[in-house]
Amino acid sequence: MKYLSATLIALTALVIAACQPQGSAQAQGKPAPPPRPGQEVAYYAGGCFWCAEHDLAKVPGVIDVVSGYAGGQLRNPTYENHTGHIEAVKVVFDPKRISYRALTDRFFRLVDPTDAGGQFCDRGFAYTTAIWASSPEQKAAALAAKAAARKGLKTNAPIVTPVHDYVSFWPAEGYHQDYAEKNPIRYNLYRTSCGRDSRLREVWGRQ
């Protein structure tokens, strides 16, 4: 039993470490192209992009979610070096099925927007929350969603998630895309060990 417990702890540590910025560099994609006709794009940061991608992909009206890096000055950032960038996701959605405001409302419920030091077990600037708006309309909707989220929190802590103007987004390496789908056992072990869902229940209750 002691051996099994030690093995589980070691495996958990390895999985959690996998979401830290120490992976090997791979060729990067180019900056995100504009959406196709009839589609819109939103950019969010919600901690480790495996989880943000997984959760937002399940929202009705979302067409695609891409993991990547945003907010920094580096061109072609990599998992090994994305200093100044935040792990982020590009969300392609159908505005006829879900509005940008509704999508952003949902985003807030998938993160702890009161944590200025990271998200859950992942600490540091690269794992903080953020929203990047691509238009004045998106920015106004994001700010309105932020104000509404404050009323739904189960804590008195302020919301620290910033709303920025969109600058750039760089897709992450291929092995990060659809990580939860490709590696369900590792992903679920990481998510549970990181305490994401338990903290979300503390912050939002059953919302």
What ranges do the domains of the chain cover?
A: 2-20+30-204
Q: Does domain 2-20+30-204 have CATH number 3.40.50.300?
A: no
Residue type, 207: Q
Q: 66: part of which helix (H) or strand (E)? A: strand 62-70
Tokens at residue 174, please?
């291929």
Print pLDDT tens along the chain (207 aa): 444 344 344 444 444 444 544 333 333 444 555 678 899 999 999 999 999 999 999 999 999 999 999 999 888 898 888 998 999 999 999 999 999 999 999 999 999 999 999 999 999 999 999 999 999 999 999 999 999 999 999 999 999 999 999 999 999 988 899 999 999 999 999 999 999 999 999 999 986
C-alpha span between 96 and 76 (Å, rounded): 33
| Catalytic residue list | 48
Classify residue 125 by its DSSP letter: G
Classify residue 128 by its DSSP letter: -
